[in-house]
């Protein structure tokens, strides 16, 4: 009897060790791949954000070197993240023209949705683009400009022409079209854009000022 227990113990010990080794190797591999790809991924994301700037505000509308005119701002309540968010500034003949503010909708259906929000100097929206998300393919992913025009609804809106009650999907009594089969995703984005506009309203001068760490 004690022999049997001994054997069982030996077998589970051996299996435990093998399982542990597999876990170690697979997590080790992931960690290694993560470390190798981390910087490259950050570069790619950055490059794709930069490409999208001119989708929101046309290249002909401003004349400064936008990629080297930016700053970082942090506001967890209004910009959805503890991390500093990047702001690009666009100017025309040295007059402030527009900003592209990065923000996060923390409450998407499948985690965070990262956005860039273009705001003209007068506080109206130039446009919004999603830069990173994990929403359901076929339903929530219609927020991608490549997949549908849903995100264009934000163009030209501002806190002045759209009072607080309008910043909801129609189903909730607001002014925005929803997406078929996805309710949480549009809510999260509308909310994040609304808050980003609120942030802009209170920090316009800080956002446009000459302080520039990107030179």
* Interacting residue ranges for other proteins, rule: CB under 8 A: 11, 14-15, 18-19, 22-23, 26-27, 29-30, 33-34, 36-37, 40-41, 44, 47-48, 133-139, 141, 146-147, 180-181
User: By C-beta, is 30 or 206 nearer to other proteins?
Assistant: 30
Two structure tokens written together for 49:
């954000």
Q: How far is the CB of 135 from other proteins (least distance, A)?
A: 7
User: By C-beta, is 40 or 93 nearer to other proteins?
Assistant: 40
- Contact 64/91 with Cβ under 8 angstroms? yes
User: By C-beta, is 134 or 156 nearer to other proteins?
Assistant: 134
Residues pairing with 126 in the sheet: none
8-state DSSP, 66: G
Two structure tokens written together for 50:
């930069």
Two structure tokens written together for 47:
């490059």
Q: How far is the CB of 188 from other proteins (least distance, A)?
A: 16
8-state DSSP, 71: E
Encode 40-55: b = buried (16+ Cβ within 10 Å), e = exposed: eeeeeeeeebeebbee
Two structure tokens written together for 98:
């527009």
* Extended strands (E) in 35-179: 70-73, 85-92, 95-108, 111-120, 125-132
Q: How far is the CB of 140 from other proteins (least distance, A)?
A: 9
Q: How far is the CB of 36 from other proteins (least distance, A)?
A: 8
User: By C-beta, is 48 or 76 nearer to other proteins?
Assistant: 48
Return the closest-CA partner of residue 198 out of 157, 159, 151. 159
User: By C-beta, is 73 or 139 nearer to other proteins?
Assistant: 139
Q: How far is the CB of 116 from other proteins (least distance, A)?
A: 15
Two structure tokens written together for 21:
């080794």
């Amino acid at each position: 009897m004690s022999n049997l227990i001994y054997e069982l113990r030996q077998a589970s010990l051996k299996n435990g060790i093998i399982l542990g080794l597999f876990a170690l190797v697979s997590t080790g591999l992931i960690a290694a791949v993560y470390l190798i790809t981390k910087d490259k991924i950050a570069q790619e994301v950055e490059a794709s954000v930069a490409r999208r700037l001119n989708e929101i505000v046309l290249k002909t509308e401003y004349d400064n070197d936008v990629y080297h005119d930016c700053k970082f701002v942090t506001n967890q309540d209004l910009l959805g993240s503890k991390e500093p968010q990047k702001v690009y500034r666009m100017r025309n003949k040295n007059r402030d023209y527009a900003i592209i503010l990065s923000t996060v909708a923390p409450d998407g259906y499948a985690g965070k949705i990262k956005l860039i929000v273009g705001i003209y100097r007068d506080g109206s929206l130039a446009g919004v683009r999603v830069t990173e998300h994990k929403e359901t393919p076929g339903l929530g992913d219609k927020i991608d400009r490549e997949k549908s025009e849903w995100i264009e609804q934000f163009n030209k809106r501002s806190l002045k022409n759209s009072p607080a009650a309008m910043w909801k999907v129609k189903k909730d009594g607001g002014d925005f079209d929803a997406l078929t089969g996805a309710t949480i995703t549009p809510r999260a984005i509308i909310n994040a854009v609304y808050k980003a506009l609120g942030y802009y309203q209170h920090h316009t001068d800080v956002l446009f000022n000459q302080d520039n760490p990107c030179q």
